[in-house]
Amino acid sequence: MNRITELFQRKDRNLLSVYFTAGYPVLEDTVEIIQMLENRGVDLVEIGIPFSDPMADGVVIQQSSTQALKNGMTLPVLLEQLTSIRSRVELPLLLMGYLNPMLRYGIENLFRKGMEIGIDGMIIPDLPFQEYLESVKPLCEKYDIPVIMLITPETSDERIRLIDEYCGGFIYMVSSASTTGVKDRFTAGQIEYFQRIDRLNLKNKRLIGFGISNGESLSTVCRYSSGAIIGSLFVKLLGTEPTVEEAVDHLLKIAHGDGL
């Protein structure tokens, strides 16, 4: 059984998923970051594949991608780093990246290698849904690696129900129609969006990301979903704290600082 499925069977509330850009701030930090996040109780880890034109990302993640590429990070390098990751960690691992590097590597090659390594899901923000249905969904089923689809406040109920029917893993709810980044609080419109999706009674679990930067915002999304995804805040801390351990500890202190 896929580790994401197992996780949601054990725990379907107050989950914390953390994103980081592979190869940032140092090329060889990937495995250490994953181990440290698991040791501190994070539930899922999203490993970002750096790309030169990350259109869904804000300044913090864009800059981290630029630095990671300068450091020499590529998709083949990342997969090599992760070769023995399952001898070190047990939590679900997802690859998050744009379609172009995956096409260069070969989509089925990536799914095959992902299964060998122990990757549990993929997030591909610029993968068209029709292309997913025609070309990628069969690979998801063959290799037991779901593609997690994103929805936004502009996504229609009809499209959301299609995603819920034909995709697995979980649904990634983007909190607003904007790029990633740290924000202080959610607007009334965003809360209404969370409530609207909650009322749809979808079969897939949902995690909410983009703009979660403190205990208050984390607590808010956990009321309307199974948990939160934090990315920009952690990437920023990786660039400012002296060590990976201090970055992880600072992240969790912020996330739980309001008593969640």
- Give the pLDDT of residue 56: 61
Residue 71 phi, psi dihedral angles, 5° rounding = -70, -15
- Give the pLDDT of residue 258: 45
In sign, the C-alpha dihedral spanning 12, 142, 107, 177 is negative
CA distance 122 to 85: 16
- Give the pLDDT of residue 216: 85
Encoded tokens for 36:
């440290």
Q: Which residues pair with 253 in a beta bridge?
A: none
Mean pLDDT by 10 residues, the chain (260 residues): 94 95 97 98 97 76 95 98 97 97 97 98 96 98 97 95 97 78 72 95 95 86 95 95 97 73
Encoded tokens for 237:
């801390």
Q: Which residues pair with 75 in a beta bridge?
A: none
Residue 154 appears among annotated catalytic residues: no
- The single residue of 46, 80, 126, 164 carrying the catalytic annotation is 46
3-147+223-256 belongs to CATH 3.40.630.30: no
- Give the pLDDT of residue 176: 79
37: nearest Cα among 74, 92, 84: 92
Please give the angle made by the CA atoms of 75, 50 and 256, to the nearest 5 degrees: 115
Contact 54, 25 (CB under 8 A): no
Separate counts of helices (H) and strands (E) for the chain: 13, 9
Break the chain into its structural domains and give their ranges: 3-147+223-256
153: nearest Cα among 196, 113, 121: 196
Query: Is residue 5 exposed (0-12), middle (13-18) or buried (19+ Cβ within 10 Å)?
Result: middle
CA distance 178 to 152: 9
Give CA separation, 43 vs 80, 165, 236, 245, in Å: 23, 24, 20, 17
Up-side HSE of residue 111: CA atoms within 13 Å toward CB? 18
Residue 57 appears among annotated catalytic residues: yes
Its pTM stands at 0.94
Cβ-Cβ contacts under 8 Å for 20 (sequence gap 6 or more): 33, 45, 46, 47, 48, 231, 234, 235, 238
- The single residue of 57, 154, 158, 164 carrying the catalytic annotation is 57
